[in-house]
Structure 1
Amino acid sequence: MNDATAGNMIKTVLHPVSDLAKAKEVYAALAGVAPQTDSSFYVGFEVGGQQIGLVPGGGPQAMAAPVAYWHVPDIEARLAAVVAAGATVSDPVRDVGGGRLVATVTDPDGNVLGLLQDS
Structure 2
Amino acid sequence: MTQGIKTVLHSVSDLDAAKAFYTVLLGIAPQTDTSYYVGFDTGGQHIGLLPAKGDVAAPVVYWAVPDIAAKVAEVTAAGGVAREQPHDVGGGRQVATVTDPDGTVLGLLQDS
Task: Sort the TM-score into its range (normalised by shorter chain).
Answer: over 0.9
Question: What letter corresponds to residue 20 of structure 1 in structure 2?
Answer: L
Q: What is the TM-score with the length of structure 1 in the denominator?
A: 0.88
**Residue 70 of structure 2 corresponds to which residue in structure 1?**
77
Computed over aligned residues only, the root mean square deviation of the Cα atoms, in angstroms, reads 1.7
Q: Is 1:39 the counterpart of 2:43 in the alignment?
A: no
Q: What is the TM-score with the length of structure 2 in the denominator?
A: 0.94
The sequence identity of aligned pairs, in percent, is: 64
**Residue 18 of structure 2 corresponds to which residue in structure 1?**
23
**Residue 54 of structure 1 corresponds to which residue in structure 2?**
49
Q: Is 1:98 the counterpart of 2:91 in the alignment?
A: yes
| CA 65–24 in structure 1, closer or farther in 2 if over 3 Å, else same | same
CA–CA separation in structure 2 for the residues paired with 1:39 and 1:58 = 16
CA–CA separation in structure 1 for the residues paired with 2:6 and 2:92 = 17
Q: 5+ residue gaps in structure 2?
A: none
Higher strand residue share: 2
Question: What letter corresponds to residue 57 of structure 1 in structure 2?
Answer: A
Counterpart among 11, 18, 21 of residue 6 in structure 2: 11
1:27-83 per-position Cα deviation (integer Å, ceiling 9, x unaligned): 000000000111111000111010000001249xx8722100001010011111101
Q: Which runs of 4+ in 1 moved over 3 A?
A: none
Deviation for aligned residue 1:17: 0.6
